[in-house]
Amino acid sequence: MFNPTTEVTPGAEMIDFRALPKIELHAHLSGSISRQCLHEVWLKKKGESAQSVVDLPDPLIEMPEGKHDYDLTTFFPLFSRYIYRLVDTKWALTYTTLSVLQDFAADGVVYLELRTTPRAMPQAALSKADYIQTILDAISQFESAQSLSHDANPSMKTNLILTIDRRNSLPEAEEVLSLTKQFFNKGVVGLDLAGDPARTEIQHLAPVFQKAKREIPGVGVTLHFGEAESSGTDDELDMLLLWGPPDRLGHVIHLSEGIKEKVIRRGGVGLELCLSCNVRAGMITGDYGDHHFQEWYKVKNCNIVLGTDDVGVFGSPLSNEYALVAEHFGLSRSEICALARQGIDVIFGGEEEKERLRRLMWHE
Ligand code: IMP
Ligand code: ZN
């Protein structure tokens, strides 16, 4: 029913990057919905003359296949202006979540941590807690269907991370924290800081992340870290390194040498690197071969985990991210397998899941 985007580039040693069991830890739910799926939602709503789509163009026209050149100024408004207006009912949330899960599983992802900003849908009488419960129900539905199917592929386990947006007020962020508490160990495993890096006033959010680690033992914390120049100042990054402290950092682009040293010295930090997103959104200077993957790959005491960020927008599935790394940095088959396994130790999903992944992920 759903067609995952395929742009798999053959690697030097003809690795089947789709079949390679992979861990995805940096994927935003609403940004991971394929255009085809958004189109299906739009068609259904049009058929029902839904008010929310009266003046909303077809997703295949608004976001034509092949258009991936969203930058940090056009990317964030896409959600409020467009995607959130399509995904504004329980049905649409369930349908799009199932589609996203199907796409990741079809791409060979065996463990997924999906993140999302809890969003009330007043017109559908859905609270933020209902929003989370709806997604968790879709995950359960997907996992039950997987366990009944005779598919030879290993099944995909999914957990949820709740996002605090940089523009949140303290009470809004505290609400996300209390939802994390409510759903912790019921499918929610962590807390994230995301949103427009142009919003630089974020100090007020610090106590929420401190409280998270104190009040929810075992919760994971991941932060978008130095994603843009505006959010890559030493002041901000020094502050973020105290939030929780964080277990994982996303993007790690605009870091001074001093901050890099601090990250490295800490040891065992998970680094969520999203090559296509960074290149296509112009977040780094240059092309794939210039990506800071090469620099962090040499650092032995951090765990690199490749991620798609927003595959619905940037169009590169996780299998393609591995193919790109093999192609541009000359990684051999065994190095690709070892890279994929680096994610195991930094998942938020617990020891049992880590053991399952250690058994099923490829060594060679
Ligand atoms: P959602 O949280 O599931 O609704 O996914 C979309 C949201 O994720 C956007 O509104 C952004 O706040 C956030 N997001 C997606 N990609 C990025 C990114 O690369 N940096 C920061 N925030 C992001
Ligand atoms: Zn992100």
Residue pLDDT, tens place only, 90-117? 999 999 999 999 999 999 999 999 999 9
- Ligand 1 touching residue 121 (CB < 6 A): no
pLDDT of 74 = 93
CATH code for the domain of 193: 3.20.20.140
Q: Does some domain include residue 217?
A: yes
pLDDT of 4 = 33
Q: Does some domain include residue 306?
A: yes
Atom of ligand 1 nearest to the CA of 79: 10
Q: Tell how far the Cα of 15 is from the centroid of ligand 1, in angstroms.
A: 31
Q: How far apart, in whole angstroms, are the C-alpha atoms of residue 58 and residue 61?
A: 5
- Tell me the pTM: 0.96
Q: Tell how far the Cα of 337 is from the centroid of ligand 1, in angstroms.
A: 29
Q: Does some domain include residue 209?
A: yes
pLDDT of 172 = 98
Residue 12 CB contacts under 8 Å (≥ 6 apart), including other chains = 326, 327, 330, 332
Q: Does some domain include residue 2?
A: no
Q: Does some domain include residue 200?
A: yes
How do residues 116-140 score in pLDDT, each as one tens digit? 999 999 999 999 999 999 999 999 9
- Ligand 1 touching residue 227 (CB < 6 A): yes
Q: Looking at the CA of 228, which ligand is closest? A: 1
- Ligand 1 touching residue 165 (CB < 6 A): yes
Query: Residue 53: is it exposed, middle or buried by C-beta count within 10 angstroms (0-12/13-18/19+)?
Result: buried
Number of domains observed in the structure of the chain:
1
> Which residue puts its alpha carbon closest to atom 14 of ligand 1?
195
pLDDT of 13 = 64
Using 70 as the pLDDT threshold, list the residues of the chain that sit under it: 1-13
pLDDT of 279 = 97
Q: Does some domain include residue 1?
A: no
> Which residue puts its alpha carbon closest to atom 11 of ligand 1?
195
Q: Among all chains, which residue has been given the structure tokens 């000359």?
A: 330
pLDDT of 2 = 28
In the annotation, is 355 catalytic?
no
Asked whether the beta carbons of 20 and 316 are under 8 A apart, the reply is no
> Which residue puts its alpha carbon closest to atom 6 of ligand 1?
30
> Which residue of the set 62, 113, 175, 227 is catalytic?
227
Q: Does some domain include residue 33?
A: yes
Boundaries of domain holding 336: 7-360
